[in-house]
Structure 1
């Protein structure tokens, strides 16, 4: 079976999720069961998940997914558009949604990441007077290490902490980057925030 591009989200600890939060490594090996129309779910089988960045309990994280043992019962239902429950032992810890083959989605995903990295770097230049230089350095360092999602999380957290007043263009650019990467929750604070009008 060809690996599929998809997205994963974890349940918070308060809702029965992982005790220590989402996994922090690039690869993760849980079990999954594909949801099916004719019954609640198919047989559970082991999978391997490779995440694009540290996953979250608040937003979907891009990933590639494949059956750990090709041909395992239930794995034939892993097709584009399928949705799966993610298990660790008997506990449901998250959900997967599958798109197309990893090969088909790789170029597009890589292009978004490169564009997002360039946008975050550019935005940091305009925010250097608002944020502590150490924060700007840390965000730039994350971008340099191909972690635009984490960089955007940090940038938005620090903007909230600083109660920064952004102009319309800055706000629109941040919203666009966050939504393009599927990090709507990260930039949600901007939707109703007051903005500084351009002169």
Structure 2
């Protein structure tokens, strides 16, 4: 399957964090900072408040303003079964960086440009190997933990070592 055909539900961020329309901007900003997220859905007002919206509110000294005055609305959505290319097209069309993933009328996830970048990114070692002519993109490769030396053979790079959680490196790629 082409990466652009991958369903959004496989890459979206969950759970969706939401606030009410009367939540003060200061409180919404705290939620973003504490949870390390870039937006919250304004559930009862069909909107979304992003870091950018909150920064504009802070610049205007509107920290106590309700998020309903700062939010982007209406919220742009995509279904969980839509593919990555649909999300890219929708973000481009509306010039936004986040889409709410909605099943029926319920927000079930958020997909951001960061999520899309991760889904479309190619393992750097595989790209280097393809240019070097040493690795077929569909072949299994050998990966080694940079910490404990554990080795794994796989078609795609493991995120981290299952034994010690350290990063893995691709041994199938020459390091000249």
Question: What TM-score, normalized to structure 1?
Answer: 0.32
Q: Which has the higher helix share?
A: 1
Q: Which has the larger radius of gyration?
A: 2
Question: What TM-score, normalized to structure 2?
Answer: 0.35
